[in-house]
Amino acid sequence: MNAELSTADVPVAVAGEPGLEAPARRLARELALPLAPADDKRIVALLVLMSHRIELRWHGPNRFNPTRVDLTQIDTVSGHGRSLRQPLARAVGLKKGDPWRPEILDATAGFGEDAWLLASLGCTVMAVERSPVIALLLADGLRQAAQQHPKTAKKMTLCHADSIKLLEKIARPGSQRTKPDVICLDPMFPTRKGGGASPKHIQILRHIAGIDPDSQILWEAAVQAARRRVVVKRPLHAPPLVEHRTAAVHKAKGHRFDVYVPSTRSPNGT
């Protein structure tokens, strides 16, 4: 282990359990991350390759429990979990009695909760994540969830890419890519002073991926690339992502979904 590694310089490193050192080295090269022993306490977070899953182990001051993506914990089977009256379902345009299901691009997939829920409701979802570490955790979670829910898993695909570049390519005249019906955005923002602690999963995502300073550029790319609507997830009392009239707002506990219709954009795109 190199002595120069520190929590300040290396927020994430890769480790392998005994017997998995060789695949851990390959994974470290693929992710362009340093390799560390699984018990190295100098690293804030270790991406640990195990025989049956991949997880993040935390040695930093926050003392999070080991983190992995478990999509099977999302309620998709109860009456509420299947309901089209859920705020997210309503925001993307699902209606009771209407068999139509949109093609959705989730441009900020994170740990994939919203994408998985929409896939369980019959939508075809492309989940896009630009952080290689988060994308890897989500891919592992999707692989495991497919064993219990194969039909839902087939509705969801994962793409490790920069969403802005991808959306700009989709919106380009003459593009061979079909515009998705709906584009969902859930950009990460700095912690608000005096706003209390963020949920654990948000703190973890912020630590690994950082904030999204280009969120307004992402929104602009989304309204150019979406066929029907752009849905932005926001904290319940936070200001809108952009100063632009929303077509609808669907509130949930602790957050809301602001809906924008591309055809209502003003000439200057605000």
Nearest to 156 by CA among 30, 228, 71: 71
Helix 215-225 and helix 163-171, axial crossing angle in degrees, nearest 10: 30
Q: Which two tokens stand for residue 100?
A: 């139509």
Say if strands 255-260 and 229-235 run parallel, antiparallel, or are unpaired: antiparallel
Segment holding 26, helix H or strand E: helix 21-31
The 12-16 sheet, strands edge to edge: 12-16, 45-49, 54-58
Helices (H), 178-245: 200-209, 215-225
Tens of pLDDT along the chain (270 residues) come to 333 333 344 568 999 999 999 999 999 999 999 998 887 777 778 899 999 999 988 876 666 788 899 999 999 999 999 999 999 999 999 999 999 999 999 999 999 999 999 999 999 999 999 999 999 999 999 999 999 999 999 999 999 999 999 999 999 998 988 999 999 999 876 565 544 556 676 777 777 776 667 899 999 999 999 999 999 999 998 999 998 889 999 999 989 999 999 964 433 333
- The neighbouring-strand residues paired with 106 are 127, 184
Please tell me the distance from the alpha carbon of residue 7 to that of residue 60, in angstroms, as a whole number. Answer: 8
Q: Say whether 249 sits in a helix, a strand or coil.
A: strand
Domains contained in the chain, CATH given: 1-68 (no CATH), 71-264 (3.40.50.150)
Q: Which two tokens stand for residue 238?
A: 């936070």
| Whether the Cβ atoms of residue 183 and residue 222 lie closer than 8 Å to each other | yes
Nearest to 183 by CA among 99, 82, 254, 257: 257
Nearest to 160 by CA among 230, 107, 104, 114: 107
| Whether the Cβ atoms of residue 35 and residue 25 lie closer than 8 Å to each other | yes
Please tell me the distance from the alpha carbon of residue 168 to that of residue 177, in angstroms, as a whole number. Answer: 11
